[in-house]
């Protein structure tokens, strides 16, 4: 499926510095910041700086340097937040069935409380 990136999405505006964010980590190709409506004591969003809509779009098109940086940034956030012992969940919603609200790739890192089952059965 061809992806069209909308550069007016809210995370593009965060990357351009047009709206503020609570930064957890910034690297050459990635930015991690706290979710504005946290659903757990730790709720960090990690995004690539490049114009990628979803994880598959990124994985199919990003450079090796971007992919390595993004993966390392996720690992660094887990270390910074001290969540390896208690455990965590990573979620990346995509498209309509994934109920993705912001069309710029983001991984949610959730931790700090029991997170329940992965999906309800509805």
The reply to whether 58 sits near ligand 5GP by the rule CB under 6 A is no
Residue 53 to residue 51: CA distance in whole angstroms: 7
Q: What is the smallest separation between the CB atom of 35 and ligand 5GP, expressed in angstroms?
A: 5
Verify binding: residue 54, ligand 5GP, rule CB under 6 A.
Answer: no
Distances (CA, A) of 50 to 24, 31, 119: 18, 10, 30
Q: Which residues contact 102 (CB under 8 A, 6 or more apart)?
A: 9, 10, 11
Q: Which is closer to ligand 5GP, CB of 19 or CB of 80?
A: 19
37 or 85, CB closer to ligand 5GP? Answer: 37
Q: Shortest Cβ distance from residue 19 to ligand 5GP (Å)?
A: 6
Give, as ranges, the residues between 75 and 104 that touch ligand 5GP (CB under 6 A): 93, 99-102
Could you give the C-alpha distances from 29 to 22, 32, 64, in angstroms and in order? 17, 11, 11
21 binds ligand 5GP (CB under 6 A): yes
Strands 30-34 and 88-91: unpaired
Is residue 91 within 8 Å of 101, Cβ to Cβ?
no
* 108: annotated active-site residue: no
Q: Which of 35, 61, 76, 115 binds ligand 5GP (CB under 6 A)?
A: 35
Instruction: Report, as residue numbers or ranges, the catalytic residues.
Output: 106
């Amino acid at each position: 499926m061809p992806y069209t990136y909308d550069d007016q999405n809210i995370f593009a505006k965060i990357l351009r510095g047009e709206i503020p964010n609570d930064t957890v980590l910034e690297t050459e190709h990635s930015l991690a910041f706290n979710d504005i409506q946290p659903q757990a004591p730790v709720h960090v969003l990690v995004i690539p700086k490049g114009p990628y809509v979803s994880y598959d779009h990124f994985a199919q098109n990003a450079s090796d340097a971007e992919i390595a940086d993004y993966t390392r940034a996720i690992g660094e956030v887990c270390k910074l937040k001290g969540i390896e012992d208690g455990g965590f969940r990573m979620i990346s919603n995509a498209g309509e069935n994934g109920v993705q609200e912001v069309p710029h790739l983001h991984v949610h890192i959730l931790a700090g409380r029991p997170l329940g089952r992965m999906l309800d059965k509805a």
